[in-house]
Each structure stands twice: as structure tokens, then as C-alpha cells.
A and B are shown apart, each in its own frame.
Chain A
Amino acid sequence: MSADTKQNTITIDGQEIPFLAGQTIMDAALAAGVYIPHLCHRQGLTPHGSCKLCVVDADNRSVSACTMPAVAGQRISNNTPALNEVRKTITQMLFIEGNHICPSCEKCGDCTLQAMAYHLGMLDGHFPQFFQRRKVDASHPTIMLDRDRCILCELCVRASREVDGKNVFAIAGRGINAHLIVNSASGKLVDSDLETSDMAAHICPVGAILIKEHGYEVPIGQRTFDLHQVSEIGLEKTILTKARQPDE
């Protein structure tokens, strides 16, 4: 191998992967069809680094693949039992912190968090449940906000700010009190510019932002993750299209 090609590759689990200058480990991996588990990352939006599911070992340091730039010659471990165990623990923490009662959730079967838990073989929450009391915002005529299920991934915050140009959402509060707020004077969704056609209204990977009167429309067996694995590359497009046109 020439020195030139070697400068532009990283190694993930022994597989050599090319990258362009400026790409993160996640960008390079996804472009090469290598799955690194993630919840808060979405191609086209600024990386966030909150979910920590994409933790990988790069040259024996734990880093977030979504924010860490790819550097020529980097040797990365990704799909290892130890890392997947860490990821399972993180997923369990997300489940016990919120009120994730899948049997009564409209997003069940279409939820990336749930699919991630399946992918990692999660059988229980392991930790004591927080049972937090969080506010529902049903003020908007067509969109509702159930904070019980919010994982603070900020996908809606970023989609609204960077794609829709409306800046509807933000995260407020510190530590365990951090929660999703609406940037309107009243703090209510109804007083924001959010519309059903906005990316921010559809991008939620869990059941926190829901389009009203569109629950339970897809038969069991035909929901996104009945048909797909969360580890399929490029699934985001399928999910987003399906969220916009649930009948198709």
C-alpha cells in the first residue's frame, strides 16, 4: 500500500475505511456502510454528542464517533462485546430516567430507542426507575409533546434551528432537571411557529413529539422495526418518510 492511500484511511474492527478531510469517525463509517450505534446523530445536522451510544475505542481512548474527527491511521474498535455492554447500560439509563412504557406508546415498533434496546439485547432496565413527573404539552392543534419519553437528543432543537429556521425548541434546566422547552413567550407549543410539515415535528427518534390523531395506524408486523434492524445503514430516510406519510 502506498503512503498516499494510507494517509486517508482509518481502521474499524480491522476493516480499512477511507475518509475525506473533515469527516468524523461516524461520517466515514456510515459512508462505508459500517454501523456504529447512535441515537442523537443525524447526517446533515450538527453533531451533538449527548447520547454516547457511539462510543468507540480509538487508539485505546474512549471517544464519541460522531464528534471525533477521523485521523489517518486511527485504529478503532467498535463492534465489541465490551463496548456493546457499555451501550446497553447507557440505553438502560435512558429507559429508567424517563417513563418508557412501550405497551402504551404510539411510537412502539417505530422507535429508535426501543430498536436500539432490542439490538443490544436489553431485557430489563437494571437500575431503579426514576418515575419522574413530566409535563405533557397538548396545546398545539396538530402536534403534541410528551416529555416522559424525551431523551434530550436535541434532534428537534437542531432540525428546527438548522433546517426549518424556526428555532422552536431548546433544552433548559441543569442535571437531571434538564428538559425540552418551547421557545414561545408562554412556553406552549401552540404559541410557536411549529407546523406539521416541519422536520422538527417528525425527527423525534422516540415518542416525545407526536403528530396528533396519527397513532396506531401501522399494523403490528409492518412497523419500521418489525421490518428493519436499527443497524441498517440509511434507515433514517425511511423513518422520516414514514413519519411524514404514515399510510405509505
Chain B
Amino acid sequence: MSKIRIATTSLAGCFGCHMSFLDMDERLVALLEHVEFNRSPFTDIKHCGPCDIGLIEGGVCNADNVHVLREFRDNCKILIAVGACAINGGVPAMRNHFSLRECLEEAYVNGVGVENPQIPNDVELPLLLDKVHPIHDVVRVDYYLPGCPPSADEFLKILGDLLAGKEPSLPNNLLHYD
């Protein structure tokens, strides 16, 4: 049987969800008998190819996030919002209390210890969005895996269900938002 293809990415995330994924420790070995990774911080693949499952960590905070997220949606049969940020914007969405200009000026102009104050404007840099958004504001999402981060057990449960061809479900004792 061919392996299930999984792609993962971190948008406005902290990589904590990826670390939590790796927290499944030696159970990863058994999992890798059934899955292979496409585009992911774990691999060197630059663009997402056709995949069965896409795991998205982090909210959407800049233009590049939007492009990556759309690439994943176009290529993944099942897209899963992983963690609080992807689900509701998470802690980064606390910047939505302020205007983008206020945030940038605080960091790059008025911040403590800033030398040669200026807001970075090189075309290489993706522009920040006005607000941080959950990923379901941009693309359709198939499943949600809550937690900040979700535990390794949650990853195993949802992937296990999908590998078994079942509708994923989280038992109450695995459900948490923190």
C-alpha cells in the first residue's frame, strides 16, 4: 500500500505545534511506516505537491502566509487547522487591538534600543496584513485540532482516525484550548 502523504507548515505560528507533533517520540517510527512527508519544516521540499493531509499551524498574518495557505489548500485533500493560532488567531491576534502602524512604530521606530529607526520596506519582505486571521477566514478547513499546542496524543488520534478511514473525533479528555 502506498504511503499517506502529509504536508505541514507554520504560518503565524511559533513551531510549538510542530514540536508537539514530534512529542509523539518513538511512536513516530511506527507512524512513518504509514505516512511520508511532503512540503514541511521537517523536509527540504520547497512547494507542496499533491497530498492527502495538510497540517497548518499558525494564523495568517502576512501576504506570504496567504500564498502558502492557498498552495496547501489547492494540493491537500484534507486540510487541518492545528492549534489555537490556526483556529482563532491565537495569541498573535492580540495585535488586532492595535493598528498595524502602531505595532510597526513600536517595534522599529520607538522601541527601546532601536538604531537607525525605520519600518522595513524591502520588496523581499511580505507585507503584514491589517489583522491576524484564523485560517478559515482564507480557505475552507476540514478539521480542527485545538490546543496551544495540541498534545502528541491528539495528533495521533486524529491521524489514526484518518488512516483508518474513520471520521476524526477527539475524546473529551484530549480536548483543551491551552
How far, in angstroms, from A228 to B167 measured CA to CA in the complex? 28
How far, in angstroms, from A101 to B133 measured CA to CA in the complex? 13
Q: Which of A99, A118, A124, A220 contacts B94 (CB 8 A)?
A: A99
Digitize A114-128: 1 where CB-to-B-CB distance is under 8 Å, 0 elsewhere.
100111010111001
Whether the pair A101, B146 counts as a contact (CB closer than 8 A) is: no
Q: Tally inter-chain residue pairs, CB-CB below 8 A.
A: 70
Digitize A195-239: 1 where CB-to-B-CB distance is under 8 Å, 0 elsewhere.
000000000000000000000000010000000000000000000
Binds A, one of B23-31, B109-117, B168-176: B168-176
Residues of chain B with a CB closer than 8 A to A96's CB: 88
Digitize B89-131: 1 where CB-to-A-CB distance is under 8 Å, 0 elsewhere.
1110110110000000000000000000000000000000001
* Given contacts A95-B88, A104-B91, A114 and B177 within 8 Å (CB-CB): yes
Expressed in whole angstroms, the minimum distance between the Cβ of B150 and any Cβ of chain A is 11
Whether the pair A101, B175 counts as a contact (CB closer than 8 A) is: no
Name the CB-closest residue of A to B87. A124
Whether the pair A131, B96 counts as a contact (CB closer than 8 A) is: yes
How far, in angstroms, from A101 to B87 measured CA to CA in the complex? 11
Digitize A125-136: 1 where CB-to-B-CB distance is under 8 Å, 0 elsewhere.
100110101000
Whether the pair A104, B94 counts as a contact (CB closer than 8 A) is: yes
* Given contacts A108-B177, A123-B170, A131-B89, A102 and B96 within 8 Å (CB-CB): no
**Interface residues contributed by chain B, number (CB under 8 Å):** 28
Whether the pair A101, B97 counts as a contact (CB closer than 8 A) is: no
**Interface residues contributed by chain A, number (CB under 8 Å):** 24
Interface core residue of A95, A99, A124, A125 (most chain B CB under 10 Å): A124
Residues of chain B with a CB closer than 8 A to A100's CB: 88
How far, in angstroms, from A104 to B145 measured CA to CA in the complex? 18
Residues of chain B with a CB closer than 8 A to A220's CB: 178
Whether the pair B134, A129 counts as a contact (CB closer than 8 A) is: yes
- A37 sits at the interface (CB 8 A): no
Chain A interface secondary structure, helix, strand, loop or mixed?
Answer: loop
Residues of chain B with a CB closer than 8 A to A121's CB: 170, 172, 175
Whether the pair B144, A101 counts as a contact (CB closer than 8 A) is: no
Whether the pair B172, A101 counts as a contact (CB closer than 8 A) is: no
Whether the pair B81, A124 counts as a contact (CB closer than 8 A) is: yes
Whether the pair B178, A108 counts as a contact (CB closer than 8 A) is: yes
How far, in angstroms, from A128 to B133 measured CA to CA in the complex? 9
How far, in angstroms, from A96 to B144 measured CA to CA in the complex? 15
Whether the pair B137, A102 counts as a contact (CB closer than 8 A) is: no
Whether the pair A103, B178 counts as a contact (CB closer than 8 A) is: yes
Residues of chain A with a CB closer than 8 A to B143's CB: 123
How far, in angstroms, from A123 to B148 measured CA to CA in the complex? 13
Q: Which of B93, B144, B176, B177 contacts A129 (CB 8 A)?
A: B93
- B136 sits at the interface (CB 8 A): yes
Task: Give the interface of A toward B (CB within 8 A).
Answer: 95-96, 99-105, 108-109, 114, 117-119, 121, 123-125, 128-129, 131, 133, 220
List the 9 closest A-B pairs by CB distance, nearest first: A103-B148, A102-B177, A124-B144, A123-B144, A131-B96, A108-B178, A124-B87, A102-B178, A103-B178
